[in-house]
Each structure stands twice: as C-alpha cells, then as structure tokens.
C-alpha cells in the first residue's frame, strides 16, 4: 500500500544529530558524586538544592569536580544513579547533608549563605495570592554568589559551621533582583517556582537563571529579557493560563519540572551518543486490518517532564500509565517531552523508548514544551521564536525517530494557528502530521482537519481532537470510555474512511467503563486502562491504530 512506502521514505535517524540545540548549559562529568539523604523538611531541602546547584556551577567553571545527589529510594532514581556511576566510573560517596556542607565549604565550592524567610501564607500550594517570595530572590543571589539558601530559623546552625552571611534575601524583591543582576543572569533559561517548592532549584542555580513566583511585573520583565525560544524551568504559582499565555507571547515555553530531582546529575549525559534515544518502532509500523473508521487514543499531559521522570513509568502511579501490565494490548500513543528529557534526563527517555511494545507509539507533545503556537512570540512581532523552535525540534525528530507533533492552541484553526502549523510542516522534513487540540475545550475542532504545505511540497494534515475520555465535566465531547466508544461507533463513514483522534485525560478516574469516579482510589482506573475499555467496545469496522498509522492512512486517502 502507498502508506507503507511512505514509511520507508522517512529520513533516517543518526545516533546524535550534529545540529541538536542545547537549551541548557553542559555540566561536565564530575570526579565524584556526593550522595546525601533526602531532606526531612522543605527548609533543609532548600539547603540541599542550593548545595547541589553550587557544586554543579563550580564544576562547570572548573573550580571543582563534584556533584551532589539526593539519595532517593523512589522510582528509577536509584537505578539511574548506579548505571551512570558504572558507565563513567564515577565514585559515589555517602554522607550527611551537614558533612557535605562542611566539606564543600572548606573546598571553596560554597562561599557562605543567603538567608530567606519560608513562605507560610495560607494560600494552597501553586495557587496565586499573597506570598513571601524571598526564597526565589535568595535562589537568584545564591546562584550568583555560590551561596547556600538558608531559612532564617536555620541561620544559627550554619553560622556555627563557620559560614558567613553573603546576603539577606528578605530585603530584596524580585524586581530588585532584575534591576541589580540583569547583566549577569542567564538570558537562555529562566525559572518559575512556588516559593515553598525546593525542587529544580539546583538547576536554576547552575544556570544562573532568574526565578519568579507568579504572574506580575517581575515575571513579565523576566520573560522579555530572555532570548526567543528559551525554556522556563519549574512551574509557577497561579492559574495555568495566566502563566502560560504570557510566556507563550514572549516566545518561551514551560517545562513542568517543579517536582524533578537530581537534574544537575542526570543531565551530565545530555545528548550522549552512549545512550540510545532512538525509538526503534518508528520504522516498524504495524498495519491494522482494513476498516471504515480508524481511531487513535493519545494520553494528555505529555509535556510534563517531572511526570515522565516520576510516576509515569515507575513509582506509585506507574501501573496506571507506562507501567501498566496490560500495556501493548491495544494501539496507544504516549506524549513525550522528548527534547527536554534528552537534555535533563536522557536515561528516562531511553527507558521509555526502549521498552515500547509494537502497539506503543510516541508524539512530541506540545512540540516538546508547554506553549501555545498561535501566540508564540506574538509580543516580539515576528515568527523568530516559532522558526527557532521548529528548526530545533527537527533535530530531536531525527534523534528520536518521532515524527508526529501535538499542539495546544488557543484557537486551533485560526489564522495564527494555521501559520504556526505551516512553519512546523515546512521546517521538519518527514513530519507525518500535527494533532491539534484547543486549550478550552480540547475537542473544539470535533475531528475537523485542514492541510498545510510540507518541506518537500507535500500536504501535511492537521487533525483536531474529536472526543476526550474525561471524567466529570459538562462538556458534550467529554465522556467515560463506553460512551466515547458508542459515539465513535455511531459515526457514519459514507464513501470515505473516517479518522478520529481521541485524547485520554491523564488524570481522570473511572469506576468502570461507564462511570466517572471522584478520584483514583478504591480501584478506579486512570491513564491507560480507560482507553483499553473504549477500544474493547469499538465495532469490528472501527479499528484503533497508532498515531503514525492514522496519519499515514489519512495522507494515503487524500
């Protein structure tokens, strides 16, 4: 069939594309890794993260050759550390956090401490509202001055260790950080974090990035000063759209890294040719039997790096998702932040791609980061951010073999969305298609599609989400698995074959195929199993397929 021929014409993958762009600065292989126990409190966690960041920065500058690892007994983290240590013959030393601070202070890796006040406001975590964001001011200053981030209640302890006070972040606002340090802070990486969250601060310190808390003047200024198509580490406090619309308009993308651990260590193998990050299934597409209607199920939230590193494969949530024992029973598409993982945790990406079954396939979810393409770089008045992102994503398509992109639009078929899709189709040879959904509702397009011109002049499809397996919403296209299957079965094919793209909401829980549940407790299903339930209820003439097959068959019919 013609679509099978198209498979063989896909560009070949190289082990490591020569033009792969690094969004984050390289951290050299260290002479040793110091492993410290997980901190018991958020305040101790701030000390540990700032120590890890200072060690990474000193190693980057050649002043030391040591990194700090949080010794987690969780998910794949212990295995990744052991593999990394053995692959590069890096010795591991275990000691208390206090001993590590004393040793690295004697060696000049840290120069003192920066005091801050922990936010104890009544607002919920990651919610907007009044807050003490001196932890974020302190992170900025600590990164520039090789300091520990010390909460005021712990100050006496670290003074007794002989550390001197470098600065008092309680007296420095985020706006003042920008005023004072604009010339020395990174313009290629910035960070947003709830001031109570300690994770990812080590990487922010290593990058010397600005750290903001929530939407406002400081956030807007920090976005504007960065180069187009730069990443935003962490995740801020406040409404999702209120954070993501300004960053999109400024031409930056969110990364959802706020619960990541040990990024300064795991990233030392960024883009390593020694780690196979190519998906072998990219050139081995299964062929479904002929059907009147082809359906693809894709899970949402695949732009979430911290999820991919944590509860996606292993950990407590793994059995609902990629660790589900039934994975592989039906064709299913997994969204991945592949470009981010290739740099921040390449072993995570390797594990996911290596363990794929023939029925698993992958997409660059949201183009490899959370942003709205129809707004990307709008405040800059040109398409530079879109062009950079598309050209950089092309190299990650070559690296991984993944050649399908999903995008989250504010207006999925508006003129700005169509222009963005045309840019990506033109800049990425071999792009099979773009799967489009809208911020609200996801299924605004109800399965409609349009075509844009590709790199070789070919027509590239842009297919909108038709239905969503989503619990407890009033939206007409959101429903439990059985109802979604019934709706798909009821679509009349007519003379042409039908094609449907269905999103499976990653966090929706179902008590059974017909009933939404309040949460995932008491045996409720989330993630992979709801899609299996829907697939099992499809008529024989309605076939579930991987996303790549759906798009290739659609192109063949045109």
What span, in angstroms and rounded, lies between the C-alpha atoms of 201 and 54?
10
CA-to-CA separations, 246 to 216, 243, 370, in angstroms, rounded: 10, 6, 12
pLDDT score at 408: 97
pLDDT score at 48: 98
Nearest to 366 by CA among 244, 276, 270: 244
pLDDT score at 96: 97
φ, ψ (nearest 5 deg) of residue 128: -75, 165
Instruction: Give the single-character DSSP code of 365.
Output: G
How many residues does the structure list for the chain?
A: 558
- Per-residue burial over 298-314, b = 16 or more CB atoms within 10 Å of its CB, e = otherwise: bbbbbbbbbbbbbbbbb
Residues 6 or more apart whose Cβ sits within 8 Å of residue 95: 34, 35, 36, 103
**Tokens encoding 411:** 């207006």
pLDDT score at 368: 87
What span, in angstroms and rounded, lies between the C-alpha atoms of 507 and 252?
26
Torsion, Cα 438 502 239 372, to 10 degrees, reads -40
Q: Would you put residue 377 in left (φ > 0), alpha (ψ -120 to 50) or beta?
A: left
pLDDT score at 18: 60
Using a 10 angstrom Cβ sphere, with 0-12 exposed, 13-18 middle and 19 or more buried, the burial of residue 474 is: exposed
Bridge partners, 43 (sequence order): none
Q: At what angle do helices 217-224 and 240-250 cross, to 10 degrees?
A: 30
Question: pTM value?
Answer: 0.94
CA-to-CA separations, 280 to 284, 357, 403, in angstroms, rounded: 7, 10, 13
Q: What domains sit in the chain, N to C, each tagged with a CATH number?
A: 32-269 (no CATH), 309-557 (3.20.20.490)
User: Edge-to-edge, what's the strand order for the sheet holding 66-70?
Assistant: 66-70, 32-36, 92-94
Nearest to 538 by CA among 505, 513, 510, 509: 513
Residues 6 or more apart whose Cβ sits within 8 Å of residue 187: 225, 226, 227, 230
pLDDT score at 5: 31
Nearest to 126 by CA among 243, 255, 260, 250: 243
The secondary structure element, H or E, covering residue 60 is helix 42-60
pLDDT score at 518: 82
3-state secondary structure at position 519: coil
Those residues of the chain that have pLDDT short of 50 are 1-17
């Amino acid at each position: 069939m013609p679509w099978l021929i198209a498979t063989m014409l896909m560009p070949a993958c190289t082990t490591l594309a020569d033009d792969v762009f690094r969004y984050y600065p390289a951290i050299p292989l260290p002479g040793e890794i110091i492993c410290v126990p997980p901190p018991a409190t958020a305040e101790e966690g701030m000390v540990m993260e700032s120590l890890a960041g200072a060690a990474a920065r000193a190693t980057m500058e050649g002043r030391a050759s040591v990194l700090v690892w949080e010794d987690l007994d969780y998910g794949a983290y212990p295995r990744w550390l052991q593999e990394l240590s053995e692959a590069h013959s890096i010795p591991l030393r275990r000691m208390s956090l206090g001993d590590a601070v004393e040793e690295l202070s004697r060696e000049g890796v840290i120069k003192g401490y920066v005091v801050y006040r922990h936010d104890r406001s009544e607002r919920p975590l990651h919610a907007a509202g009044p807050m003490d964001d001196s932890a974020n001011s302190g992170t900025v200053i600590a990164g520039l001055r090789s300091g520990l981030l010390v909460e005021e209640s712990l100050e006496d302890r670290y003074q007794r260790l002989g550390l001197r006070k470098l600065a008092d972040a309680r007296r420095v606002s985020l706006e003042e950080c920008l005023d004072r340090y604009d010339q020395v802070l990174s313009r290629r990486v910035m960070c947003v974090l709830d001031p109570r969250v300690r994770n990812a601060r080590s990487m922010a310190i290593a990058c010397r990035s600005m750290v903001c808390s929530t939407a406002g003047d400081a956030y807007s200024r920090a976005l504007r000063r960065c180069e187009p198509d730069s990443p935003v580490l962490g995740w801020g406090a406040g409404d999702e759209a209120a954070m993501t619309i300004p960053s999109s308009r400024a031409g930056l993308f969110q990364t959802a890294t706020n619960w990541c651990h040990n990024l300064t260590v795991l990233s030392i193998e960024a883009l390593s040719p020694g780690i196979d990050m190519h998906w072998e299934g990219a050139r081995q597409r299964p062929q479904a039997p002929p059907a009147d209607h082809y359906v693809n199920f894709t899970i949402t939230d695949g732009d979430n790096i911290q999820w991919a590193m944590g509860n996606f494969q292993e950990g407590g949530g793994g059995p609902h998702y990629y660790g589900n024992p039934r994975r592989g029973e039906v064709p299913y598409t997994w969204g991945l932040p592949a470009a981010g993982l290739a740099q921040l945790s390449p072993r995570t990406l390797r594990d996911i791609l290596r363990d794929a079954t023939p029925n698993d396939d992958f997409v660059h979810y949201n183009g490899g980061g959370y942003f709205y393409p129809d707004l990307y770089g709008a405040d800059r008045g040109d398409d530079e951010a879109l062009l950079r992102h598309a050209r950089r994503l092309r190299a990650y398509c070559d690296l991984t073999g993944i050649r399908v992109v999903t995008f989250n639009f504010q207006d999925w078929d508006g003129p700005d969305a169509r222009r963005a899709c045309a840019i990506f189709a033109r800049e990425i040879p071999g792009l099979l298609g773009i799967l489009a959904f809208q911020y609200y509702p996801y299924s605004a397009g109800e399965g409609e599609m349009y075509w844009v011109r590709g790199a070789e002049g070919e027509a590239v499809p842009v297919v909108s989400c038709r239905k969503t397996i989503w619990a407890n919403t009033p939206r007409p296209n959101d429903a439990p698995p059985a109802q979604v299957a019934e709706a798909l079965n009821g679509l009349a094919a007519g003379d042409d074959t039908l094609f449907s793209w269905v999103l499976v909401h990653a966090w929706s829980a179902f008590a059974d195929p017909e009933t939404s549940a309040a949460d995932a407790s008491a045996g409720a299903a989330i993630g992979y199993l709801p899609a299996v339930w829907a697939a099992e209820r499809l008529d024989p003439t309605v076939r579930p397929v991987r996303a790549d097959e759906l798009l290739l068959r659609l192109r063949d019919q045109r």
